[in-house]
A and B are shown apart, each in its own frame.
Chain A
Amino acid sequence: MADDARSAARPAPACEVAAQVRSGALTARHVVERHLSAIAELDVELHAFVTVVGEEALADADAVDRRVQAGVDPGPLAGVPVALKDNMCTRGIATTCSSRILDGWKPPYDATVVERLRAAGAVVVGKTNLDEFAMGSSTENSAFGPSRNPYDLERVPGGSSGGSAAAVAAGLAPLALGSDTGGSIRQPAALCGVVGMKPTYGTVSRYGLVAFASSLDQIGPFARTVADAAALFDAIGGHDPMDSTSLERPAPRCVAAVGDGVTGLRVGLVQELLEGAEPAVVAAVRAAAETLEAAGASIEECSIPEVRHALPAYYLLAPAEASSNLARYDGVRYGLRVDAPDVAAMQGATRSAGFGPEVKRRIMLGTYALSAGYYDAYYAQAQKVRTLIIDAFDRAYQHVDVLLGATTPTTAFAIGSKVQDPWSMYLSDVFSVPSNLAGHPAVSVPFGADWSGLPIGVQVLAPALGEAAMLQAAAVIEDGAPPLAPPGVWAEPLGTAGWSSGGRA
């Protein structure tokens, strides 16, 4: 993978690539071509991508280069390859949600985030694998088979945005977008050793994101560094009139805040966000806290017992919304249709054949939770729990600016080890779900590895719209993190380089 003249001694995080494309030192075509070849070479092993869009990507790259040549601003992410989780609509390009039910469907429109990426000069190189309709924590629920963890091909990359996490970890794209409904960005980021951020609900448009649970879904960035994640968030964030739940706020400007340090920042270390975590994970979080303290933050141990109820509440609310959101896949208008003598039978046959077991499980769970006679006991009760969790966070944030905990209880687990036991799989999201219920931002930052070399993620949580402080803390943690060896599957499309050498230099 050596790249002739430009064997820089560093990895090439997104901001650096963009700077070079903007200055003309690198062409976008070159950057994209190198990444496409890396994908062609390595994705056979990883299966991070469901679709690679080589031609379209090169055409987009050329458009960026023409702007550079013409002296027109090509955008802050000029020429940076981006991998998109395949639940975001791309005009004329298959959008599968890793489900058979969307077989053959090509959206007639681009998601808002896709338009914003293009406006920022970024180049979509492909669509990444996920658990079907984002339901899962390992990508094993994909109709196209699991993606693999670049650190250990026998282990999962996490999920549901496992393809995006694996692609960024293996260097197949400097940036990727995922969606996070209960941890689907942060959990795979932790398991793959990359940065993954779930922004405040309403800061990134959901228009064109195929819905799983509308009140929880949020698109967010994957990157190898906190600064890159901030840059991607800045590019895709901001009000969108096409999404009624989009906050009426200007686009975020977090990149500038990333290097500001944490002097005087009050950090709460949440007991409940360590409960049941492996010792190596607990140790990493404590070390991250010390890093913050050493950089000038104050650390306070705190308890938010209400978050223990988050997972059960989540597994009523998310399936309830999903049961309704996924009703439209009925064989009438698009995607799979299994013929049958009458409409109802056709719809039943189509859905039976088109959805995988986990999606069916959640549709049934959600249908039950909303049924007459059960609504109050399940859905309504879960909404009350949600309110309690929001109130509990609000109380905690009266004393601290950000909260710290583990992202996941464990490092990457073996493929097949949890598929027979949904509850143990669900527990993988136990630390990430509370932020979704509250609508708050949270980010997972790599912090070393366990004894077998698998990456560990620590999680920084913040109140609504607290992204700047959250990313400041994340950047300090990143700086102080022990070195993480590059994964076994590792492409260096733009040069030979180390892995965790910061990147904010």
Chain B
Amino acid sequence: MGRAARHGRVVVRGSSVSAPSPGAWEPVIGLEVHCELRTATKLFCGCRNAFGDEPNTNVCPVCLGLPGSLPVLNVGAVEMAMRIGLALHCDIRPSTFHRKNYFYPDMPKDYQVSQYDEPINVDGHLELSDGSTVGVVRAHMEEDTGKTTHMGGGGRIHDAEYALVDYNRAGVPLVEIVSAPDIRSAAQARMYAGELRSILMATEASDGRMEEGSMRVDANVSIRRAGEHTLGTRCEIKNLNSLRSLSRAIEHEIERQIAVIESGGAVEQQTRHWDEEGGRTVPLRSKEEAFDYRYFPEPDLVPIAPDPRWQKDVASALPSMPAERRQRLRDLLGSAGEPVTDARVDQIATVVELDLDSLVLGSVNAGIGAPLAIARTANEAAASPEAARAVDHGAYGALLRMEQDGKLSATQAKTVLGDLLVAGGDPADIARRHGFEVLEASSLALVVGEVVQASPEEWARFRDGEDKLAQFFIGQVMKATSGKANGKAVIAELHRLKG
């Protein structure tokens, strides 16, 4: 950040809504995300689409590109691509496949079958949890390549003794989602990728596992002076294997480009490789070295034209997308007359991202206030998302009701929730095991009275309007009751005594 400050750059945090001040550097970022589809079989043959199987076991003449073999399009993959397109609010168009020609040992035909100028999904957008929107230019289908492992030497390409190729992944269906250059910060890029990942998982088209390569992100980064409308020269960054490396790489690349320009140089159009260990991007190839892919229409396949009825069927089978689900939670707050604070926006984003919204909705339906339901779910249940997704909704609601009714303090409720997530059970039983017998109102009044008598000075100040001393009395009551008292009930009793 220090460097950014030196260069007078405005760091855009999360939202593209806040514009940089005139004259500052404005990053312009677009992302290309490759998503492996979770179809049972590959894009053009009947081989199993599975990660981690014994090398070269899920192969046949077609995905090995043997002479004479021909592709036959997997309709299931088309349907998944349509699901993604619809979830991203794209138009679904009649589309065709092209061949992208280049030599690579793990590409069996030495061309990749991909959609080019007529992709299946165009003109969509994606709404982020901070309210910003990023355009989706296209989401097209293509086939994946095999995987090369360099053996001997240091295991790197240049000093390897030989290479082994596994073609299990060759022909696995991919959808490539190309964003518009609408992203203005590394944080927003990360948010976009995270949101896209949630959407891909919600559509059940992808498992979203970046570490297994089932979701791969490339970033196009350029900079310009704020207020300018032309785009700067961009660099494409590859090898971004996690959301963290995505934002680190973009941060670094922005800094690098600023430094190049401010030292009087010009950014060269390049493909760059993110060096995770070194924390920097390094050049891979320049524009002059770029491949001429010699795209031409794939003559072995026929055009795809999903009819409106098919599109409608696919659309009606789609589950709600994260943006819609977040809106639903915001609406709960709204109808309870509660403000949608920044903290609550973050909580809602967490709940939806971890797929815990049904827990919130179930609790609210059972009469729990929306702020409490959202807060407990986002802050405590979210710490163990898998357990939280499996927890009994009735027990969860019962626990929140005990807290809401003052039978458990917030601290106690969190303790009980921890046990509930680990082992399940009846929250009342768990509370009893912890000795969280609820203080009856009469005994609470007794304790509060004793505490007040023991601290006359503080009581006088509290009576004179020093409200923050309530915390002092709560602490004393907690001490006296071994934490069994409810803070809100204590405050109520203090005010009653105050008269």
Contacts and interface: CB of A to CB of B under 8 A. Distances in A.
B101 A324 contact: yes
A314 interface: no
A233 interface: no
Contacts of A347: 103, 105
Contact residues of A: prevailing secondary structure? loop
Interface string A46-57: 000000000000
Most chain-A CB neighbours within 10 Å: which of B99, B163, B299, B300?
B299
A324 B66 contact: no
Main SS of the interface on chain B?
loop
Contacts of A242: 70, 72
Q: Which of A95, A102, A343, A375 is most buried by chain B, counting CB atoms within 10 A of its CB? A: A343
B496 interface: no
B476 to A, nearest CB: 76
B71 interface: yes
Contact of B300 (A109, A241, A245, A334): A245
Interface stretch (B107-115, B204-212, B245-253): B107-115
Nearest to A320: B296
A108 B63 CA distance: 13
Contacts, number: 98
A244 B301 contact: yes
B73 A244 contact: yes
Instruction: Among B65, B67, B103, B300, find the residue whose CB has the most chain A CB atoms closer than 10 A.
Output: B67
Interface string B288-318: 0000101110011110000000000000000
A227 interface: no
A107 B103 CA distance: 23
A209 B66 CA distance: 11
Contacts of B71: 244
A387 to B, nearest CB: 13
Contacts of B69: 109, 207-208
B17 interface: no
Given A107-B68, A207-B69, A327 B101 contact: yes
Contact of A241 (B64, B67, B72, B105): B72
Interface string A335-360: 00000000110010000000000000
B165 A332 contact: yes
A245 B302 contact: yes
B302 A244 contact: yes
B299 A328 contact: no
Interface string A311-338: 0000000001101100110101110000
B296 A327 contact: no
B367 interface: no
Interface in B148-176: 163, 165
A371 B292 contact: yes
A214 interface: yes
A367 interface: yes
A211 B101 contact: no
Given A89-B67, A89-B68, A324 B99 contact: yes
A343 B163 contact: yes
Contacts of B302: 244-245
A334 B99 contact: no
Contact of B299 (A207, A321, A332): A321
A88 interface: yes
B435 interface: no
A328 B302 CA distance: 22
A192 interface: no
Contacts of A210: 67-68
B61 A109 contact: yes
A206 B70 contact: yes
B433 to A, nearest CB: 64
Given A213-B299, A324-B296, A379-B296, 20 more contacts: A87-B68, A97-B67, A105-B67, A109-B61, A210-B67, A241-B72, A244-B71, A244-B72, A244-B73, A245-B299, A245-B300, A321-B299, A324-B99, A327-B109, A327-B110, A333-B64, A347-B103, A370-B101, A370-B295, A375-B294
Interface of A: 87-89, 95, 97, 102, 105, 107-109, 111, 206-211, 213-215, 241-245, 320-321, 323-324, 327-328, 330, 332-334, 343-344, 347, 367, 370-372, 375, 379
9 contacts: A87-B68, A88-B68, A211-B68, A245-B300, A321-B296, A324-B296, A327-B103, A371-B292, A375-B294
Q: Which 8 A-B pairs have the closest CB atoms?
A: A327-B110, A370-B294, A215-B299, A214-B299, A210-B67, A208-B68, A89-B68, A332-B105
Interface of B: 61, 64-73, 99, 101, 103, 105, 108-111, 163, 165, 292, 294-296, 299-302
